[in-house]
Amino acid sequence: MNIHLENFIKKKFKKPGKVLDLGAGKFNDVNDFKKLGWFIIGVDKATGVDLNKPFQYEEKFDLVYSNYVIQFIDNKEIFINTCYNNLKIGGWLFLQTFAQGDKIMKYKTLNEEQLNSLLKDKFKKIKIKKYNEFDNCPGHKHWHQILQAVAQKK
């Protein structure tokens, strides 16, 4: 689990709850959340979920999390609606993506204003930060500009 997400859940949650990982990839974060005692559902193409289309799970979640997925989504409004519709009232969204201007990832990236515009009608306590982070994965070894958004469902 990345340190930004780990710090966020320590700050916002006193005890484990329910989390939905949109774009679970290799399910590393799913496994990390399980180790912390969370009930977690991870969805991805591998589970048959196309995040370009609306997705609704039968339960609501305390946290919806998405790590580096929204830049691949064609209709970002549908994706944000999926985040919103799967949250309990007062639940939290934690989203990370590559920022517009990232020299490596140029595919449909967002800037702070665009991300805020997607969130502002459905969420409160929106905090968006941009920062640089070194990608130390084998075969990568380069810097990225990251956008991180946290927001609470109204």
Indicate the SS3 state at residue 133: strand
Domains of the chain: 3-153 (3.40.50.150)
5 close to 67: Cβ distance less than 8 angstroms:
yes
Q: Is the pLDDT of residue 128 over 70?
A: yes
* Residue 100 token pair: 């517009």
144: which 2 tokens?
A: 């990225």
Q: What is the rounded distance in angstroms from the CA atom of residue 82 to the CA atom of residue 106?
A: 24
Structure confidence at residue 20 (pLDDT): 98
Strand-strand pairing, 61-67 and 123-135: unpaired
- Distance of alpha carbon 16 from its chain centroid, rounded? 18
Task: Give the pLDDT score at 106.
Answer: 64
Taking the model in full, what pTM does it have? 0.93
The mean pLDDT value for 53-62 works out to 97
